[in-house]
Structure 1
Amino acid sequence: MATYRMLFSALLAISLLISSNGTKTGEEINETIICTKDLIEVEIPSTFFLSKNPPILISDLHLNDPECHGTEVGNLYVFSIKTNFTDCGTRMESDSTHIIFINTIQNNFSDIITRTFINITFACRYPISYMVQQPNGENKISVDIRTITLNTEDGNFSVSMILYKDPHFEDMWTTIPFLTLEDNVFVKVKMVPGNLIIRLENCWSTPTKNPVQAIQYFFIKESCPQIVKDETLSVVMNGEAEEAMFRIQMFKFVGVSFNHVFLHCTVQICHNTVSVCKPVKEDFCQ
């Protein structure tokens, strides 16, 4: 049974197809898979390779890009893809719910034939839909980790909401803001890694931290601003880059006991295809 280790929330689907001298497809290799918001890593005991005839050295192996080699750490062969998951010849695919990053560990070929053939394919699968909330003493969202059997591991990108004091989104609130009804708050939602596209789908507020509180005030629905005829809301950027931004004038929920406003947004992540995260212009929101 393969061993798994999680350093952050991550969603990982692993497929191992190995064919080499004296081994069968699907041979147990006791691999360790690490998949985080900025790292995909595969660790395989070196004995798996050194027991072949002839032995396979770490210098004999690479990923899809022949320039991407592994390293030998103790008794492990380690192959890493950091920050930009499309490096090292990684192939990227997507469906209606996930973005998938696929790469292969393979050995060098310089002769016409070989007696040892290595082909280990692994894939990391990340969901595209998330919900973020304004920070309340924390600047990131807690995420759940779900591990699936049969060499599959599930997790999430890092998506966060940050509040700013100025329209240039430079002066960040580091404490809980205390605002008047005439003030504006400037909100940025961003993700890691930063080479994908993010789109705000729905944004709303509640008088408590609970996003499904019975009292709710929606100001963005289906990527469309709900208040387009005045200056209380302005969507600065949405569905165009790895961050989305908007400005909203402060308001208060009706009721003497309601003195707080909590912001929530659901977002969609798209893999660098603008047509999937096509920006919604206010002119088309009726």
Structure 2
Amino acid sequence: MLLQKHQAPVIQQVQKVRQQPQTRPVTYDQQAKKLKNQPQWPPQRVTQGPDATTPIEKCQVKAEERITCGVPDLTLAQCEAINCCFDERRCYYGKAVTVQCTRDGQFVVVVARDATLPNLDLDTISLLGPQDALCKPVGTTKAFAMYQFPVTACGTTLMEESGYVVYENNMMSSYEVETGPRGSITRDSHFELQFQCKYSDTAVEFLVVEVNAVPPPTPVAATGLVRVELRLASGQCYNKGCVEEVEAYRSYYSEADYPVAKLLKDPVYAEVHILGRTDSNLVLNLDYCWATSTPSPLSLPKWDLLVDGCPYQDDRYLTNVIPVDGSSGLEFLTHYKRFAFKMFTFVDADTLAPLKDRVFIHCSTEVCHPTRTHSCQQSCNRQRRDVAAVNSVAGETVVSSGELILT
């Protein structure tokens, strides 16, 4: 999920989405003769497009992490013209992805760790073609990875359109996939960049193509014999020292707020509670909680969050069961169950490609009435509880949340 549209220094920027052109193949030898006669490409003034990241945010790079952009002794105007940042002494790369096309036939790609949320693992980035020495970073720091390679290398494809010779390549990151018995997920950012250099006898142009998510469907809800609701909390910490798990449950998303957009690894705070009952003896228990990519709780793929009311142990990021105590201000504490998990996206079981899809949360619940022999209290420090011992008031009910999507 890229935070900004990628820009690159060019003579003329392509402003509209690329359409499929009529193309014909060109040999590398033919274009190499043209490039050989071109002069080296110094920084030039270019037309800038909109950037989703503000200049202030993009340029907030720690002094020790700054990498010089362009040739030495650039002025402020020249630096801004190639979409870089200026600190009164030098021009440096900002928190973005910068693609440059030089007249001597080189791609220059500089990727910032902060180009995505969660931040990129720069070691996982690779180009389209074979990973030989030419296609590896020419320099890597804690904050940036720099690539420079000929436009004829690293799996670049070549075509000709409207008087230009076009070189196109892709850069992407790998990611870790967790696989369960009925579904697979990932919580890592998936970075993918498609970029072009377009050459003619008089000009150099670039084009960057990004893929956006599809619009989501409407949220869902479910009820049982005793009305039980699953809702997502929306409160946030704004003051220093506040406890996020407490503040989260100060407010909740309404039906109009769905679908709720989240980043990978963002915390998702869920609450299940009994509606319209004032019997303090009733105890709400969660049996299973899981996620699916469709509103149907029976659909696949699925990912377990709670198993028998306890965190699913095969998840690296264990779901957190949040105690409901007197500090919550609730009148009937046993009517509520709360838990939190880290946002993820489902992965295709065959290709392991992120589906970048919607996520729905479901819980199977039991409303229990305590007896002398059974307190209805759940504990995770034991084997699976004896279901037959539960004094269920209304049987098992499945409740579902509204929709979560990735930004």
Could you tell me the TM-score, scaled by structure 1's length? 0.42
Greater relative contact order (Cα < 8 A, sep 6+): 1
Q: Which structure is larger by alpha-carbon Rg, 1 or 2?
A: 2
Could you tell me the TM-score, scaled by structure 2's length? 0.30
Greater fraction helix = 2
